[in-house]
Every structure is written in C-alpha cells, then in structure tokens.
Structure 1
C-alpha cells in the first residue's frame, strides 16, 4: 500500500499532484494506518518532517525551495521549516526532487532521484481562441499581453516584474495572484485572484508570452503550466533555469517528461524497482 502524506492535498479544489497520484495509483491512501506492513511505502511531503517509528520504506518529496531561498536572501526566517525538511531527507529511505537544480541541496543525505511533478497538459494547452478569451476577461484584443502569476514574496520577483513593465509600457499584463490579501494592482494590468485551474488555463491563453522573473533557479509550477499552454518565455537577466525554453515550450514539456503520462510511467518504474506494489 502507498500512503500519501501531503501538507495540503488541494487548497482550492484543484487537481494537484496528490489528487492525480491517488487517482492513477488506486492502491494509495491519504490516511496512515494504525500499523504498517513491510511492503508499505509512505510518500511524505518534506515540510512534515520524518514520520517516526515507521518500519517501512519512505520517500521524501523534497519540492520546497527553502534551501536555495536561505542562501539567496541570507535569512534565518525559514530555519524551523528547514529543520523539518532536512529531518525528512535524512531519515527517509529515498529522496526525490523535481529539478536537477535542487539536487545538490540534499545530496548530503544520500542518493537523490529526480522525478518531475507533472503538468496536466490536457487542461493546460493552446486553445487557439485568443480574441474570444480576451473579450471574455476584458483584455484588449490588439495589445501585446504578458502573463505573470505568483505572490508578493520576494522569491516570486513581483518587484522585478514592475520594473520591467515600467520599461515596456506598451505591454498589457494578465496577473494571477495566489492569495487575495496579497493582490497588488499595477497600472496596465488585469489582476485576478482565487483563480481555478480552468480559468487559469484560459487566462494564460490570453497572453502572448510569459515573463519569468523569480529569484530562484527552478521554474515554478505556474511557469510549467504556462509553457504547456505554449507561451513563449522571457527569462530576466539570463538566470539559470531547468532548461532554455524553445519557441514552442509545449514541445519541451513532453521532451523533458513533464507531462502526466510520462510522469506516471516514471513513478511506476521507480516504485517497481524498489519492490513497491501499486
């Protein structure tokens, strides 16, 4: 049996990795049993720390970017959560990251494997209805439109977005905020909050490109989703990322195995190689 230990299964009812994995691997459960069997495995989100006294195999899902954030911002703000993450990485049987750029932060704890989180390429796709969607959301038909999604947290680069936008006043922006209380109106922008995945995909399809201005190296999930919609990518300052997107970044998603079909095969092989029945 596979036991899924998530911090948040689905905050807004969206189809996350967790809900997708539960659907695709039917033997998995969200709750932990009173007693584990020897062939069980726990897939544990790293911020939860290690589940003590579990005589089974465990996989630490090391998706948080806090180790890099600590270095970039030279801050101790996240040390409490980092201790939990490192505890999970140290004592779990296996360790998994989504990006090779994150691997060095955990190699001290043992072997680190790379498995993409996966993008729903059936939902996040080119829709070929730009004018209709712009009309639907009140976005000018004839404008050049950029997309950005995130929060006001410094790692997301909103300040860099504002600076770049001021240098390109001809661009209209579609900005999607994760948290309503953080939403900041910006001149020349259409701001949206509490957006479901269906609406998010449509808003991405209103844009002509995506601006990647985060302070950390790996692409954020919203950026992978925008690339699945085939939005061309502008990366500020030549920052090293997981890869250099082509003019058709949706093709890159499949080439790199970030589509869910490929990710399922990768996880199935990964589990089978470790004697885990799914």
Structure 2
C-alpha cells in the first residue's frame, strides 16, 4: 500500500500530482496510517512534519523554502522550515524535484530527484491563436505577454509592473494563483480561479511568457508554460538552473518533466524499496 499524505490536494478541480499518482498507482490512497507493513510506504509532503510511526516514509521536499530563505534572508518561514527539515531528517527517503534542491537536503541522507511532472496532454502548443484570442477577448493587433503568479516577493510582481511600464505597447494576460488576490492590473485581462485547460488556452494566446521568478528553480506554472512551447522572457533575479531553448517543450521532455518519464522514475523507486502497488 502507498499512503498519500498531502497538505493541499489542489484547487478548482485541477489534476495535481496527487490525483495523477493515485490514478496511475491504484493501490495508493489518501490516508495517514497508524502502522506500516514491510511492503507499505508513505509519501508525505514535507511541510506536514514527520509522521512518528515505524516503516518506510518518503519526505517530498518540493517546496522551495530553503531557496527563499537564502535569497531573501527572512525568518518568515522559520516554522515551516523547521517542519520541512524535521520530515527530511527522520524520513527513510527524501525526494526533490530538481538537482538545485539536492544540496538543501543531502545532510539528512540520500536524496532522489523525481520531478513533479507536467501534464503534457493539457499543456500543449495550439495552432488556433486567432480563435483563442476571440474566445477570451484578447486584442489581435498588439503584442501579448502573459504572467502567472501571486503577490509573494519570490514571484516578482514588482518586476512585472516595471517591465509593463517600460513596454506600454504590450497587452497582458494576468493569471492570479491564489483566490484572495482580487486585483486587476491595467492594460490587461485578469483571471482568477480558472481551470488548467483555460490556463493552457490563455498561454497559447500570448506571444511570450514573462518569468520574474527570483529563485534558481522554476515553479510548476513555468514548466507548464514551457510545455506549451511559448517563448520565455526572463527577468534576471538569480542564476537559473537552465535557460529554456527556442523550443521549451523539448526541454520539458529532455529533462524528464513529462508524466510518462515521471511515472517510470516512481516505478523504479518503488521497486528498489520493495513496495507493492
């Protein structure tokens, strides 16, 4: 049995890693166990803290809190980081999404790299930009930029405002990640609480994706934009772990962020640990 311990299972009906994993590994279930058999394992999101039971546990260290702490030098996430490091220290195994995060957890033991996985069947390049612009009432005679994020400093909203003021000819598609962010940016179409399908369509309306991420690793939303094969304009806040090529969708597959590759990595990981599913 594979037990899935999640902090947030997703918003607005999106197909998250967790719902995808349960579908691909049917014996898995959302439950916090009280005991584990030898063939069982717990996949536990690291911010939940360590689960004090005997048996195989995996700390999913996907949050970029160590990078945030290093960049901003803030104590804002001290309580969360204490739980994350506790989970990493006392779990049997640790998994991160990219090689950039290995250094943050290697002191606790071995670290495996398994990406979170992009749904490359939803996030695809589309060849109907004109029709999509009509559907969403996006101007057809302007250069269109898209930005997806929140007010959090690591997402770089201030850089978006600066870039937009320096390029007043650009019309913007703005997608807000969090429900409470009811702001509307001028000279833009603002979207809140929309589906993954709508996000993919809006990405395909744009001429470029503006990345204002201040960290080395890319956020999931940036991987999803790459899967749509949209050109990236990157505001340099830090050295990125890599820079998207002229065909970003190829980068997704080359780096194993597609779900087919991710499933194979999970199968190999579970087989090596003697887990049945």
Aligned-pair CA distance for 1:187: 2.2
Q: How does 1:250-269 map to 2 (within 5 A)?
A: 250-269=249-268
Q: How does 1:103-252 map to 2 (within 5 A)?
A: 103-237=102-236, 239-252=238-251
Please name the residue that 1:275 is paired with: 274
Please name the residue that 1:6 is paired with: 6
1: CA distance, partners of 2:135 / 2:225? 19
1: CA distance, partners of 2:189 / 2:98? 31
Please name the residue that 1:56 is paired with: 55
- Alignment RMSD (CA, Å): 1.2
Please name the residue that 1:90 is paired with: 89
2: CA distance, partners of 1:137 / 1:180? 20
- Whether the 8 Å CA contact 1:38–1:55 is kept in 2: the answer is no
The 1:35/1:274 distance shift into structure 2, 3 A limit, reads closer
Please name the residue that 1:17 is paired with: 17
2: CA distance, partners of 1:205 / 1:217? 25
The 1:252/1:105 distance shift into structure 2, 3 A limit, reads same
- Number of matched pairs: 277
**Larger CA deviation: 184-193 vs 123-132:** 184-193
Structure 2 unpaired stretches of 5+: none
The 1:151/1:46 distance shift into structure 2, 3 A limit, reads same
2: CA distance, partners of 1:112 / 1:33? 24
* 1:79-102 Cα shifts (integer Å, max 9, x gaps): 111110000000000000001111
* 1:167-192 Cα shifts (integer Å, max 9, x gaps): 11111111100124224322221110
- Whether the 8 Å CA contact 2:176–2:191 is kept in 1: the answer is yes
1: CA distance, partners of 2:34 / 2:86? 22
Q: Specify the SS of the correspondent of 2:180.
A: helix
1: CA distance, partners of 2:227 / 2:128? 16
Please name the residue that 1:77 is paired with: 76
* 1:220-270 Cα shifts (integer Å, max 9, x gaps): 111100110101111112732232111110111111111001110111011
2: CA distance, partners of 1:89 / 1:34? 20
- Whether the 8 Å CA contact 1:2–1:40 is kept in 2: the answer is yes
2: CA distance, partners of 1:11 / 1:63? 18
* 1:21-42 Cα shifts (integer Å, max 9, x gaps): 0000111111134432122100
2: CA distance, partners of 1:33 / 1:110? 24
2: CA distance, partners of 1:81 / 1:140? 43
Q: Specify the SS of the correspondent of 1:96.
A: strand
- Whether the 8 Å CA contact 1:155–1:216 is kept in 2: the answer is yes
- Whether the 8 Å CA contact 2:212–2:237 is kept in 1: the answer is no
Q: Specify the SS of the correspondent of 1:14.
A: coil
